[in-house]
Amino acid sequence: MFFWDPTMVILIPAVILSLYAQMKINSTYHQYSQVGSRKGMTGADVARYILNKNGLYDVPIERVQGHLSDHYDPRSRVVRLSAGVHDSTSIAALGVAAHEVGHAVQHDSGYMPLYIRNTIIPITQIGSYISIPLLLLGFLMGSPSLVELGILLFAGIVFFQLVTLPVEFNASRRAVAVLGGDAILTQDELNGTKKVLQAAALTYVAAALMAVLQLVRLLLISGVLGGRDD
């Protein structure tokens, strides 16, 4: 059966890394969300400062609900910060805010990996909905063409996860550079912020590994790899 195929063991490393990454970001963010910055700037203050520094005066900052729901919306050109980041003066919040603004700066400067990621979003959205159903239907109907189409769509999801890595790493580097370079955080504060951003980056690495290993598993099940015929 598809869901209980022995190839499920391939996913074990990704499952372990995903669980570790989730625990790591939760514990690290919680730890440094208790450490206030000496300058007393809030996440919203830092976001506005970096946006203005890069001439992005027209990019608004919105306060949204949710825990770590922070993101940059390239379609609306809006930086959205969760209440725990928007209003907080912690070094964790400042790192998250600066990271999200890093995406706005990437967008404005035409950073190629971000452009590629944004371009393929419609394809990956379609793939996330129908790739697995197509695979299941293909297996049930004995239709190699449907299976191959499902795998192709899932491969688009894998590519999205992989191109996300340089986008996220670069945004964090930009965040650290401005927080340290403009003396918004002291060196010891910056070390804590780096740990938060590194923990967040690990979640993206885990997601990418899971996607890659799932694709390998699907290729094995379909017989594209390993010459499996059943």
**Beta pairing class for 71-73 and 78-82:** antiparallel
Q: For residue 168, what are its two tokens? A: 């996220």
87: CB partners within 8 A, 6+ apart: 42, 43, 44, 63
Residues 6+ apart with CB under 8 A from 142: none
- Phi and psi at 207, nearest 5°, equal -65, -40
Q: What span, in angstroms and rounded, lies between the C-alpha atoms of 82 and 49?
A: 18
Taking the CA atoms of residue 55, residue 58, residue 59 and residue 64 in that order, the dihedral angle to the nearest 10 degrees is 140
42-35-54-44 Cα dihedral, nearest 10 degrees: -20
Question: Cβ(140)–Cβ(180) under 8 Å?
Answer: no
- Strand ranges for the chain from DSSP E: 61-64, 71-73, 78-82
Does 168 qualify as catalytic in the annotation? no
The single-letter code of the amino acid at 56 is L
Residues that are catalytic: 100
